[in-house]
Structure formats: C-alpha cells, structure tokens
Structure 1
Amino acid sequence: MSRPRVLIVGGGFAGYQTARTLARLTRQKADITPLNPTDHFLCLPLLPQVASGVLEPRRVTVSLPGTLPRVRLVLGEADADGIDLEARTVRYTDPEGESGILGYDRLVLAVGSVNKLLPVPGVAENAHGFRGLPEALYPRDHVTRQVELAASADDPKSCAARCTFVVVGAGYTGTEVAAQGQLFTDALVRKQPLREGMRPRWLLLDIAPRVPPELDEKLSRTADRVLRQRGVDVRTKTSVKEATAGGVLLSDGEFVDSRTLVWCVGVRPDPPPPFGRGDPHLASLVESIGQPLERGRLIVDPFLQVPGHPEVFACGDAAAVPDLDKPGQFTGMTAQHAWRQGKVAARNVAASLGICSRRAYRHRDLGFVVDLGGVKAAANPLGVSLSGPLAGAVTRAYHLAVMPGNRVRVAADWLLDAVLPRQGVQLGLVRSWSVPLDTASPELARVPGARRSPGRDTQQPPQRAPEQSAASEGES
C-alpha cells in the first residue's frame, strides 16, 4: 500500500515546525509535502535587525530543503479557492505562474498572516509594512538614501523631513524598529554629518497608553525610558489621521513632515489570492473552504482539527485555537504560539495515522523579549522581569534557541556589529513598488495590471510589454 500523504500549506513558524516534527515522528512512514512560495523559513522577529544593518538577510532565512531532508518541498501558493475538501486536493500556483494540483490524506493549514490595514487615507499608498524580507531590505536602503540626501540638502526643511522617520504601532515589532532605527541613523550621520544642530528623528506612535502595550507596566517603563534616552519621540494615545507623500497628519492635528512611514499596527490572518491574480477582495484561503471562522481565523478544536473534517488540521495565525486556560478565548497570533502549535499539529497528524497518541494544545507562557538594540532589551522570561545587559543576553539567547539553523552565523554578525562600524550603503535590491503594504506577497507588484504603490520614492516599476508574464521577471 502507498504511504499516506501529508500536505502542509505554509512554511512559517507553524508550518516549518509541523514538517520537522512530523518527519521525526513518522520516520518515512508518510509522504510529507510542504507547499510554500519560498524555499526558506523566515525568522520574523529578527527582521528589525536586518533593516538596521545588524544582520545580513540570509542569516534570518533557513533553507527548507537543507533542514528538512525527509520531506518534498513544492514551491507555490494555494489558490484562494483551491482547496477541495471532498476530493482532498489543493490547487496551487508556482512562482512562475504555472498551476498544479496536490492530493492529500491529511492537510495542515499554516498559511500565516499579513499586515493589518486600517481605513486611514493614504496609508496603503505611502506606508510600508514589516512582514517579509523585502520589507526589511527596502527600509534599509530607503533610510540610508534619506540620510545621504539630507546631508547634501541646502534647504533645512527638506533636510529635517528626510531625517524624520515615523513608525506607527508600538508593539514588539514597532518598538524594535524604532529602537534599532535610531541607532542605525545615528551611526550613518557620524560619517555624513547633517546641518549643524540636526540629528535623525524617529517618532513612535500608538493609541495605547504605554509602549509596548503587551508588556507589563514595569517592562513598558523600561522600554519607554530606553527609547526616550536614545532620542526616540514616543507618542502614546496618538494615531495617524492621514498619510501623504510629504508627511503624516496625526490625530492631535499636528502635521509631521517626513518621507518615511513604517506600518507596524499588527497583522491579520490568511493572505489574499496568490501572486496578485484575480480580485484581491475575493474570499481568502481559509474563508473559501466554508468552515466557521473567528475574525478571519479557522476555528479548530483543542487538537487543532477542523470540526467535521478530522483529516484537516490548522495551526498558527490562520487558526483560532481554544485557550484551555482561558475558557471562551482563543490563543494569540504570536510566533511563540505558532511554533508550539506546529509541534502539537504534527503529533496529532501522526496520531491520526496510528503512530502515537494525540494531545490537546495547552500553552505555557515562557514570557516575551524586546530587543532594543546594542546591549539594551526588556524581557520577562518565566515571568521574571529583566532589563539592561542581562535582558539583552537573554533576548539574544532566546532568538538563537528558536532559530532552526544559522545560529553560528547570526552570533557572528552580532559579534561583528559590536566591534565594527555598521556599513551604510545602498544596494538597490528592492524598490518601493515591490513591497506594497496591502499584501504579504511582493510578487503582486510584478503582475501586469496589479496596483503598485509608488511609496515615498520617485522609483517607478520598469515598463514591459503587455504579453510579458510575471514569471519572466527575476527577483528585484
């Protein structure tokens, strides 16, 4: 008899951990196939360090074929209406636009999340998110360019606008982006001084009364103090009313001249149709299968199975998993939940194949960490509040622990950053129109007819003949 087929849609924290754990449990008693648009796992918590020049991009990516030797990777994204629960098939599109169909005996949905958009005029056209590698590489070039242009500007107003960077959302990502960004730009202006009396200015905005709002009050005060001492302008109970190419209008009526707006207000589950094909307002992947949802997330039982379809599992940001310690609530959309749910999903898939016993998902909070750059951090491992260099050491140890590869390279980059000046140079690898805020798929910008956001540069997408397909363009 043929081996059972396990199809895993997604290769993020949940999908990667499912594939790795399942390969270990089944010991080649099942055919395991991850379906993912890239050939790597991306460590999202380290993206702010890529954007600020601490880590090189490849350090935060881990090869799927290289670290999952007993699985068969298929490059592609499931079509928004491509799951047929009756036929047990998934239709997908590969990065070059070719279609395919994969059959399964067990299906694991781990499609992750994308930037959360709010109905704020101008944000979709003028802001950039922070959910992928291109979205981290682009601001590194963009910020470097703004500082270089400001250093040669004759107009003081233009110089100040180019060196004003606005970050909206003071959660973990936004706080780290602002903290790391201030260090990065300060390092840049030491080599290219601005006009006398000027220095880069970072604004961190959030409607919450403190930052980051997820931390306890003690650690929030620590993070707030470090940010302000570093020169970050922290604005609580403040949001963006409108965004333009020349700046942002705040909710308190102030207009801030700026060429840079980074959007870190949160995430929403499940990406839109892959590679920009079709109407982006069509049902998303988990919506299209017609099962009950909770705010866009697929409702599952404590064993991560979809009710009525025991062969279908879901985990990570795409799944609304009951919180057994808080009846009536669901687990949060965090990497910590996704990583552990992936392990439980793998075990329960293996249990459904008769290999082991199944287990309900129950979360034990290990605490959270916020890297503030340099030796500064805020952390509460196992509920113990830490700050300063000790918190910095714990934070980096935690990041290394969750990395399934590249640990030596990441540690080496940290060491080099501590003893050598950062390199401030534009690489020109990513253009603003290839990282639109309203999608997690940068390929959207390369599809003929898809909306492109010019962003805050004058860079425009290259023109091409109408018959040229999206697949014919290489990575920018």
Structure 2
Amino acid sequence: MGKPRVLVVGAGFAGFHCLRGLEKALPADDAELVVVNPADHMLYVPLLPEVAGGTLDPRRVAVPLRPGLPRTRLVLAHATSVDLDARTCTAVDVEGRSQELNWDRLVLTAGSVTRLMSVPGVAEHALGFKSVAEAVYLRDHVLRQIELAEQDGDPARTTFVVVGAGYTGTELVAQGQRLAEAAARNRKVPPIRWVLVDLAPRVLPGLDERLSGPALKVLRSRGVDVRLETTVSEVTATCAKLSDGTEVPTKTAVWCVGVRPDPLVESFGLPTVRGRLAVGTDLTVPGHPHVFAAGDVAAVPDVFNGGDPTPMTAQHAERQGKLAAHNVAASLGHGTPRQYRHRDLGFVVDLAGGQAVANPLHVPLTGWPAKVVARGYHLLAMPGNRVRVAADWLTGLLTRRQVVQFGLVPAAGVRLGDADRVDAGRG
C-alpha cells in the first residue's frame, strides 16, 4: 500500500506550521508529506505595509518553503476541487496543466482572499493589498503620483484614500504617509493627504480599545484625515465618493476592508459558519475524520469566547496549524488528539517611525516600548528571514527611507476586479 500521504492545501501561517509540525512529529518512513500552493514561499502578511512603505525589501516577507520544509514535496499549483469520497484533490498549475493527487489525510489551510463588496467602481478602480505584487505596485504608484504631481500640480495625485481602519489599513496609512512625505521632500507638489475611512466608530475596531485611542492620536498628529462611521459609496478613476456626501478627488483608492475564506470552501458543499468550514475543536470536519481544517478557512470554536469562531488572525492560524499537525500525527498512531484552546496574547500595530501601539499579555504600551515589542514579536514569529529583516530595520535607523520606484508590477492584476477573478478561478 505504501506510505500514507498527508496532503496540505495552502502554505500560509496554518499550512506552513502544520507541515513543520508534521516533519517533527512523524518519522520519515511513516508518511509522505505534500503541499499544494501557488507560490514557493510562505508570505509573512503582517509586514506587507513595510514593503509598501519602502522600509523592507519584498523578499524579506517571503519565507522559502523548500529550505524550511525539507521533507515536504511542493506542488506549485492552485487546488481547484477536492473529492472527499474518492480522497483526491485536483490542482492546476500556471500553465493550465491539471493533476489529481490522492491523499489519506487532508489538511485544508487555503487561507483567505480579499472581500470584494458591491460598491460601484471598487472592482474597476480600487487597489487590493494582500500580496507582495500589490504592495510593490502600491509603493511604485505612490512615488509615481508624486513625480507626476510635480509636473502638473494636480492635488488628486497627492491624495491617497485607504478604505478600512483595521490592522492592515491603519499600518498601511502610517507607512504610506511616511513614504510619501519622504518622496515629496524638497519638491514643489500639492500637500500630501492621506484619508482613512471606516464604518466603525474607531480605528482598529477588532482590537483592544486601549490601542485605538493612541493609534488615532498618532495618525491625526501626522495630518492623516481619519473619517470614522463613514464608508465609500463609489470609486471612480478620479474620485472617491463617501457616504456622508463628501467627494475626495484622488487617483489612489486602496481596499483594506477585510477578507473572506478561499473560494475552495464553497466547492465542498459542507456546513459553514460565516463562510468558513464548520470544524470541531480537534479541527476535524464533522463526518470526515480524515479531513482537518485550520486558519481562515475553518470556523474553529473558541472555548474562551462562548464557542464563537476564532478571529481570522495570524496568531490563531499559526497555533491551529501546529495543532492540526499534532492531531494528524495522532490519527496515524503518533500521540493522542488534543482540543484547540488558545487565549490571545495581545496584538502589535507598527505605526512607522518611532511609533507603535501594543498590548503584550494585554498590557497597553505606546511609543518606543511598543515599537520594541512589535519588532521583537515579528522577529520571533517569522519562521525565516529574521537576520535579513533585522538588518533592514537597522539600516533604516541609520539611513533615510529609499524612494525608488521600479515599475516591475503591471497595473493588470492588482485591481480588485482582476484579483477577484483570479481568486474565483481557484474555486
């Protein structure tokens, strides 16, 4: 019969840590490990705003899979469908070639995609922010608009609108504002203006309230126009129309509203909770004891929050991935299953420069103490590239922020409508 095959779909936080755990828990002769992923790296998403802000090289947030997972076979492709009865998974690569993979244990960790809402013009004119390509394009775009504004004096070019004041949007505005100010130094351009819009009554609505006030104070002290309890009603090529009737002339609208589970979830026809696969606290899919799910695709009951699904955060995804590895190994005769139990350890939000907010172990910090905690947390949480990231940060303390644009990423594919079509093709 050969060795049982454990197939992991997706190599984000949950998938990567699941595979790393499996390589430690299972002897080499006991199982074959295979991962289906469209890229040869794990993306450390929390540092994408620093890529867009020009403080980190894009390669720093891409952790290579092969050196980190030497026993795992990588299938560079998108998983398009899974047959639970036949125990097969169909994967399609970038050249359109399809292959069918058998499995004895399946771990679904496909992650999430940008949540595209039915706001007129968003798909056509807004930029996404969930990949290295989108972060690099946005950095180049901001610098390009400032160059062009020096030539034509159009204030719409130096006005940047970010929709969504959650973790990503707040950090992106902080980093982008610093990048734009550095690029505009000693230039005759219209005033730099960043507008942050969110329907919530405060920034960072999903995090501790003790982080929201200091973060808002930092942003507004830098001149960021924060519009709360407001949303975008329409986006055009030259304007963002807000729900309060305001029209903001701009050539840059970035969509950071939220994410939804990978469309692959919809193909299963299994029970879901808020669009995520319903699973037990042992991460198995009910009725399918050989199928596990973790991370953003899984509605894992939070025993510390009345059984509601755990938030879609990297912290939960990483720990669920580790538990999935333990329970898959247990199903193959190595150990005993465990249940998912994890209390949030707190969050960190880097606001660029010497500013940050953090609540490690729920102790609120601001300024440089929070900055040290934030960077220390990321260095500990990253499964690779730590020395390179630390070197970039050290260089940033000693030199000015680089404001070079390369134009390597085309506009096609980074618009939200293009990205959504790519994602939908995976389902």
Partner of 2:100: 101
Amino acid at match of 1:227: L
Query: Which residue in 2 is equivalent to 1:208?
Result: 200
Matched-pair contact (CA < 8 Å) for 1:115–1:439: no
Counterpart CA distance in 1 for 2:265 and 2:115 is: 17
CA deviation vs aligned residue, 1:82-133 (integer Å, no higher than 9, x gap): 2111111101101221110110000000010011111110011110111111
Aligned mate of 1:299, from 278, 291, 299: 278
* Residues 202-281 of structure 1 mapped to structure 2, 5 A cutoff: 202-270=194-262
Matched residue type, 2:363: V
Q: SS at the partner of 2:188?
A: coil
Q: What displacement does 1:52 show?
A: 0.7
Among residues 165, 170, 173, which one is paired with 1:175 in the alignment?
170
1:72 aligns with 73
Whether the aligned pair in 1 keeps the contact of 2:413 and 2:419 (CA below 8 Å) is: no
Distance 2:208 2:385 in 1: 32
CA distance in 2, matches of 1:186, 1:133: 22
Answer yes or no: is 1:184 the counterpart of 2:184. no
Structure 2, unaligned runs of 5 or more? none
Q: Distance in 2 between matches of 1:142 and 1:126?
A: 13
> For 2:183 and 2:421, how far apart are their aligned partners in 1?
28
Asked if structure 2 preserves the Cα contact closer than 8 Å seen for 1:129 and 1:135, the reply is yes
**Which residue in the other structure is 1:460 paired with?**
none
**1:109-164: per-residue Cα shift (whole Å, max 9, x none)?**
001001111111001111011111111011011000000001122x4xx1x11000
Any conservation in 1 of the 2:40–2:64 contact (CA below 8 Å)?
Answer: yes
> Equivalents in 1 of 2:272, 2:128: separation in Å?
25
What residue is the counterpart of 1:333 in the other structure?
Answer: 312
* In the alignment, structure 1 residue 41 sits paired with structure 2 residue 33: no
Q: CA contact under 8 A between 1:186 and 1:199: conserved in structure 2?
A: no
Structure 1 unaligned residues grouped into runs of 5+: 271-283, 448-476
Q: Aligned AA for 2:222?
A: R
Judge which range, 342-351 or 207-216, deviates more: 207-216
User: Distance between the aligned counterparts of 1:235 and 1:398, measured in 2?
Assistant: 30
Amino acid in structure 1 at the alignment position of 2:253: L
Q: What residue is the counterpart of 2:337 in the other structure?
A: 358
Contact 2:194–2:225 (CA under 8 A) maintained in structure 1: yes
The CA deviation at 1:397 is 0.6
Pick from 159, 162, 171: which aligns with 1:164? 159
2:361 alignment partner AA: L
Match of 1:91 in 2: 90
Listed one character per residue, the Cα deviations across residues 388-416 of structure 1 (whole Å, up to 9, x for unaligned) are: 00100000111111111100000111111
Identity percentage of aligned residues = 58
Q: Who is 1:23 aligned against?
A: 23
CA distance in 2, matches of 1:327, 1:255: 42
Distance 1:389 1:378, change over 3 A: same
**Contact 1:34–1:71, Cα closer than 8 Å, also in 2:** yes
Q: Map of 1:383-402 to 2, 5 A cutoff?
A: 383-402=362-381
Rounded to whole Å, the distance in 2 between the matches of 1:371 and 1:27 is: 40
Q: Indicate the larger mover: 431-440 or 5-14.
A: 431-440
Question: Alpha-carbon deviation of 1:214?
Answer: 2.2
The 8 Å contact of residues 113 and 423 in structure 2, kept in 1 or not, is answered as no
Alpha-carbon separation, structure 1, partners of 2:200 and 2:333? 48
RMSD: 1.5
In the superposition, relative to structure 1, how do residues 442 and 408 fare at CA in structure 2: closer, same or farther (>3 Å)?
farther
1:438 deviates by 4.1
Distance apart, 1:194 and its partner CA: 2.4
Q: What SS does the aligned partner of 2:405 have?
A: coil
Task: State how far apart, in whole Å, the 1-side matches of 2:173 and 2:141 are.
Answer: 15
TM-score by length of 1: 0.87
User: What residue is the counterpart of 1:114 in the other structure?
Assistant: 113
Instruction: Report the Cα offset of residue 444 of structure 1.
Output: 7.2
Q: Which moved more, 1:181-190 or 1:428-437?
A: 428-437
Equivalent residues, number? 424
Distance 2:265 2:418 in 1: 16
Taking the aligned partners of 2:196 and 2:102, their CA distance within structure 1 comes to: 47
The equivalent of 2:394 in structure 1 is 415
Q: CA deviation at 1:328?
A: 3.8
- The DSSP-based 3-state class of the residue aligned with 2:412 is helix
Whether contact under 8 Å (2:116, 2:420) holds in the other structure is: no
Residue 371 of structure 2 aligns to a residue whose secondary structure is helix
SS at match of 2:406: coil
